[in-house]
Amino acid sequence: MKSYTNIVGLVLLLLLFSCANKDNKTSKSENSQISVTLEKLDSIQIDYLGITTVHDIDPVSETVLFSENLPYSEEIFIADFNGSIQSSFSKLGDVPDGYGGLLSSLRLNSDSSFIAYGYKGFLSYDFSRNLLSQTRIDDFQIPSFSIKAMGYGMEKFRSDYLYVNQSSSNFFNPEYALTYLLRPETASKSAVSL
């Protein structure tokens, strides 16, 4: 019984000291003021109503590539940093110069063109809607999922593109790779191994 009395006394003593220290800390923080200023360094405002997905931004050519993804259409927009839409068109579906369906985000090239990786391979378009080149991939697999937005999909790596494997996730397959290097010029892909 004596040990319980000692424990209860110790707990009460700790509560007393913890409450006393807490009051002192709050009085110090009430007297101090913190001043914060926010400065907008840069921004791009494009007057467009809709739900858009930004695919790529090129600060050198001051170009923004974005799209609006609706259930049965996918409109591609090219705008400048002033907010003016330079061009808009759709290449979704079964059209002669279309990509079928996108497998990755659209990527800007430095020569007023962009590349699309879709069901029909790698397709390069100029900003005037014209198809410049098309190469079909040699080992095409229908993906189990596809994320199409800036920061997802394929990212430039030297002259190739680093691509997240979007096929079925069979982690127990010894040939399964998490990432691939895509080569648009030769329409080939190779697994990245660590």
Q: How confident is the model at residue 22 (pLDDT cuts 50, 70, 90)?
A: very low
pLDDT tens-digit readout, 139-174: 776 666 556 655 567 788 888 888 776 665 555 666
Q: Which two tokens stand for residue 31?
A: 């007297």
Which position has the token pair 């931004």? 57
Residues 6+ apart with CB under 8 A from 97: 91, 123, 131, 134
pLDDT tens-digit readout, 84-114: 999 998 888 788 898 888 888 899 987 789 9
In contact, 106 and 89? CB cutoff 8 Å: no
Q: Which two tokens stand for residue 98?
A: 């279309």
**Residue 3: is its pLDDT beyond 80?**
no
**Residue 48: is its pLDDT beyond 90?**
no
**Interatomic CA distance for residues 176 and 138, integer angstroms:** 17
Q: What is the predicted pLDDT for the residue at 23?
A: 47
**Interatomic CA distance for residues 62 and 100, integer angstroms:** 28
If one compares 155 and 2, the residue with the highest pLDDT of the two is 155
**Nearest 10 degrees: CA dihedral of 35, 39, 45, 50?**
-30
3-state secondary structure of 58: strand
Compute the residue count for the chain: 194
Superfamily of domain 52-191: TolB, C-terminal domain (2.120.10.30)
Domain boundaries, the chain: 52-191
Q: What is the predicted pLDDT for the residue at 174?
A: 61
**Interatomic CA distance for residues 37 and 97, integer angstroms:** 50
3-state secondary structure of 14: helix
Task: Tell how strand 63-70 and strand 52-58 pair up.
Answer: antiparallel
Q: What is the predicted pLDDT for the residue at 126?
A: 93
**Residue 137: is its pLDDT beyond 70?**
yes
Q: What is the DSSP annotation of 77-120?
A: EEEETTS-EEEEEE-BBS-TT--BSBSS--EE-SSSEEEEEETT
